[in-house]
Each structure stands twice: as structure tokens, then as C-alpha cells.
Amino acid sequence: MNRLHTCLLTCIGFASAALAETPVLFIAGPKSHGVGQHEHPEGCRLLAAHLNAGGLGIRAEVSEGWPNDAAKVSAAATLVIYGDGIDDHPAKGRLEELRARHKAGKGLAVLHFALEPADAEMAAFFDEAIGGHFSPEWSVNPIWKMKDPLFAKHPATRGVETYGIEDEFYYHIRLRENVMPLLRALPPADSLGDDGPRSGNPAVRKALADGVPQTLAWAVENDNGSRGFGFTGGHFHHLWSHKDFRKLVLNAIVWTAKVEVPENGVTSNIAAKPVHESIDQAIAKDDLADVKLHLAANPESLHKGGRANSRPPLEQAILRNKTAIAVFLIESGAKPDGPEGSPRTPLHLAIERNNPTVLAALLKAKAKPSPPDQAGWTPLHHAAAKNQAANAKILLEGGANPMALSELGGTPLHEAAASGGAEIIRLLLDYKVDPKLKSKQNVTALDLAKEYKNQPAIEILSGL
């Protein structure tokens, strides 16, 4: 009987352990800055919801401000602090609680502005617990577009695919030795402003000039078994809708809680909702992920902007030079010729923005290659006038009519003769544009070349 009782107790103990959940506590500072920026409570709630739905046995809670219940702080396997820094830091005055957690081997993750400590004592603790901190006169906080990010092999990067994100990624962070850089990239030199506490300094300028990739996210495993994570992004709330941007942070939080990160990273079945109010805003912010969410929620938004007088989304994307979004909209079925009666077609707009990628995508989608605008100019006329030889070749290979006449009876060669170079002149001649044809103003291409003193055109056309 005693053996049976012992066995039952053991089985109950195992069952309880299996049902035990790992507590994760988010501590959010108040919302600050402008609309869609530093949305700390909402950002924490979103990340917590994904953790709770991830099937990892995690119970994530959010506290707006430091919790009154000290037991929650001490019990959490990891704390995630996401808020403003310096005097408004959520952990200001709470170092003893943080030190006790650290001594007990508990995890800590610090996001964005919260990486700038309230004082020197907190800075020293951050160095010990998470491996570094934002340091004025050394670190900088510009908004810039990341390109070619470098991801380390680590549980926090599982399932994370490469991305290019525009955010206020802090860089040139004060990092101690033995930090594992999870995400690095080389910011453009023009992301720096004039020298100032957070805008630029000689040391960071030299680092960029020397081509030193900057650490934007990192992890540490300390001698006492505690784990730390720092992430410099998270200024714009809409970026949490980006799967891979979000996954890196979720993975790292799970890792600091000493929970096994799945092979493909943290995933959940939460249906993502658009962050931006309209597809117009998503396009303006160059947020392709949010554009996709708007289309999924409202397929009609493929053809209509967010306001009654908005341009169609495709036109907005082309005019704003958001190439990836424009191509996605084209491939999703946006009208490649634009709405009926429009004074300029998407092809005209692509020429205006000198965007060969969009131009080729429109032609692949069966856009009419020679539509006239209000002045009777085809996209080829505009390419010729702007001396865009590469774009002119794309149009011609896509079926554009090289002998199309404008309202004044001029061919694309007339426009190239006035302002084009030798390459585009020869290209049009190769496509059999008649150099002798006179416009309604009774001038040939050579006449225009002489009038505008375009010497390359004069030399080529004079010999014909």
C-alpha cells in the first residue's frame, strides 16, 4: 500500500510538472512620442499574445509600469522591459529586485529606448545582466533602412529570414566581452547627424568608415546561468506585424526564459491585423507586410485607396518609389493600365520615377505599351525626353511603338534629339524610327538637335 501511495504521489508530481507553465512578465512603460511610435503597452500585449498562443507552455502577462506585486517579478522566468529610458525608465529605483533575480539565474530582455539606463548604476547592471547598454556620446539613435543584415546561428535566430527594415535601430552600443551578436548590419554613413549626445561622434563615424557591422540585437549567457537579450529596434509599432522582425524578439525572450526554441522559431495562430489605419499609410511607410494584411482584410483595397480622393494604391506605390510594394500589387492583380480616363498610366509614372523594375513588371502584366497621356506622349516619348535609354529599351522590347506620334506629330526620336544622348538616339534608329519624318511644326529630329545644340544627336543624325 505504501509503495502504491508513493507511486501515485510520484505520478501526480510528474503530471503537475508537465502542466506547469513558465511565467514571462512584460513591464511596459507608458506610450510616448507620436502616433504609432513607442506604443509600449500595445507592443507588449501583442508579443505576450503570440507567446501565449505559441504552444510552448509559456504564460505571459503584461504590467503597465512596475508591478505592485513583488512576487510576480521574482517568480517570472524572464522579465521583458519595453519603455522609455533615462528618467522615465520603468525599472528606475528597482535595481535591488533586478539584482536578486539576476543572482537567482533569471532572464532579462530589454527593448529599444529601455536600453538607455536611468543612471550609471543601472548601466553597470545592464552590462552584467544583458551584456551592454546605450551610452550617450558613444551610441546613436537615428532612423535608417537596414540592408543586408547578418544573423548569427543561435536559438534566437531559428526560423528568422533576412529582411530589410526601416526603424530607429540604435547602434554603436557599449557591449562587454563575450556577447553573442544576433543581428548586425552596416548603417549608411548619412544616417548620422551632426555630432551630439545621440546623433554622431568621431568614434562611430570611424566605425562606419571602416565598414564595421553594428550589433543591433545580442544575447549573453552569464556565469551564474542567467540569460540576457538586448534589442535596439522597436520604435515603430507597425513593425511588430512583420513576421521575422517579431520572431527574432519572441525567440530571444523564450531563450532567456530557458524554454527550448522550436526549430522554426516561435509561431502562433493569431490572425495578424493591419497596424496602419489605411493601405495608403502602409504604402507611405514602405510596409509590405501591412499592405498584404490590408489586402487580405479587404480585397477591394487593391484598387481603391484609403480615402475617397486617394490615388489607386499602385499609383501611390510607384510615385513613392516603393518598388517591392508596387511589384506585389501588380502581381496581385492591380490594373496595369490604371483606371479609365486617368491622365497618365502606371507606365508613365514608372518612367517619371525612372523605375525599370516596375516598368518591366507592368509590361509583364500586359500593360498597353504605348498609351498616350493628355499631350499624346507615350511612355517612350517620356523616356526619350529624359534620356532613359535602359527604360526605352524595356519599353521597345515590350512592344512599344517607336513611331508613335505625339499631339504635335513628333516621334520619340524628336524628343531624344532635343535632350537625349547617343545611346538612346542609336537605340531608336535601330528600331527603325524615321529620322526624316517632320512633325506638325514641320521640323525633323535633326532640326531639333540643332535648335537645342545637342551635339551627339547632331553628329549621328547629320550622317543620315
CATH tag, 2-256: 3.40.50.880
Smallest Cα–Cα separation from 37: which of 187, 236, 232?
236
pLDDT score at 26: 98
Can you say whether residue 304 is alpha, beta or left, with left for phi > 0 and alpha for psi between -120 and 50 degrees?
beta
Domain with CATH 1.25.40.20 in the chain: 274-368, 372-464
Domain with CATH 3.40.50.880 in the chain: 2-256
pLDDT score at 307: 79
pLDDT score at 15: 40
pLDDT score at 8: 43
Q: Which CATH superfamily is domain 372-464 in?
A: Ankyrin repeat-containing domain (1.25.40.20)
pLDDT score at 342: 86
Cβ proximity of 286 and 242 under 8 Å: no
The string of pLDDT tens digits covering residues 287-312 is 888 898 888 888 899 998 877 778 99
Mean pLDDT of 351-357: 97
Q: Tell me the C-alpha distance between 435 and 392, whole Å.
A: 17
pLDDT higher than 80, residue 4: no
Is residue 161 packed enough to be buried (19+ CB in 10 Å), middle (13-18) or exposed (0-12)? Answer: exposed
Mean pLDDT of 276-293: 89
The string of pLDDT tens digits covering residues 198-229 is 999 999 999 999 999 999 999 999 999 999 99
pLDDT score at 428: 96
pLDDT score at 297: 85
pLDDT band at 263 (very low <50, low <70, confident <90, very high): very high
**Of the listed ranges 9-18, 78-87, 137-146, 384-393, the one predicted with least confidence:** 9-18
pLDDT higher than 90, residue 12: no
The string of pLDDT tens digits covering residues 401-445 is 999 999 999 999 999 999 999 999 999 999 999 999 999 999 999
pLDDT higher than 70, residue 336: yes
CATH tag, 274-368: 1.25.40.20
pLDDT higher than 90, residue 450: yes
pLDDT band at 163 (very low <50, low <70, confident <90, very high): confident
Task: Centre a 10 Å sphere on the Cβ of residue 344 and count the other Cβ atoms it contains.
Answer: 18
Q: What percent of the chain has pLDDT over 70?
A: 95
Q: Tell me the C-alpha distance between 158 and 260, whole Å.
A: 11
pLDDT band at 14 (very low <50, low <70, confident <90, very high): very low
pLDDT score at 17: 40
pLDDT band at 23 (very low <50, low <70, confident <90, very high): very high
Higher pLDDT, 3 or 111: 111
The β-bridge partners of 169 are none
Is residue 112 packed enough to be buried (19+ CB in 10 Å), middle (13-18) or exposed (0-12)? Answer: buried
Higher pLDDT, 273 or 349: 349
Q: Is the pTM of this model over 0.75?
A: no
pLDDT band at 29 (very low <50, low <70, confident <90, very high): very high
